[in-house]
């Protein structure tokens, strides 16, 4: 499974990395195809969010904690401090790890967006 990672290097610059989360088949019932699952990730909680219509751009910021963020509706465009940009459609899994440094900024559509925040355990 593809995942977009945002992280900070030792100098505090943020970057993107495309990572692959391995999935392993699991047969639940005989005579049907298996489902595919990753290993368990230790998480603290889950939080659901609503980005209101008209936000347009969130200026440079770091993520408050290491977390997965999944946009359920609408798109988001991230920009890292090295100047790279990525456009993410609904369903994209983003691993935000730039808790220090210059951070990233995000651009949003006119309509509001639902998203899910899943902070990782320490």
82: tokens are 């090295």
CATH architecture of the domain with range 2-119 = Sandwich (2.60)
pTM: 0.92
The band of 55, judged by pLDDT with boundaries at 50, 70 and 90, is confident
User: What is the rounded CA–CA span in Å between residue 32 and residue 49?
Assistant: 36
The band of 84, judged by pLDDT with boundaries at 50, 70 and 90, is very high
Residue whose pair of structure tokens reads 């509706």 in the numeric block: 73
Region 102-121: what's the mean pLDDT?
Answer: 95
The band of 57, judged by pLDDT with boundaries at 50, 70 and 90, is very high
């Amino acid at each position: 499974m593809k995942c977009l990672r945002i992280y900070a290097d030792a100098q505090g610059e943020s970057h993107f990395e495309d990572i692959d989360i391995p999935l392993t088949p699991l047969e639940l019932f005989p005579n049907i195809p298996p489902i595919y699952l990753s290993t368990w990730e230790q998480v603290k909680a889950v939080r659901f969010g609503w980005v209101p219509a008209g936000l347009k751009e969130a200026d440079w910021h770091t993520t408050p904690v290491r977390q997965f963020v999944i946009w359920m509706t609408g798109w988001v465009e991230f920009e890292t401090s090295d100047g790279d940009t990525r456009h993410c459609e609904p369903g994209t899994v983003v691993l935000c790890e730039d808790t220090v440094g210059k951070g990233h900024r995000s651009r949003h559509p006119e309509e509001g967006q639902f998203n899910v925040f899943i902070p990782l355990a320490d």
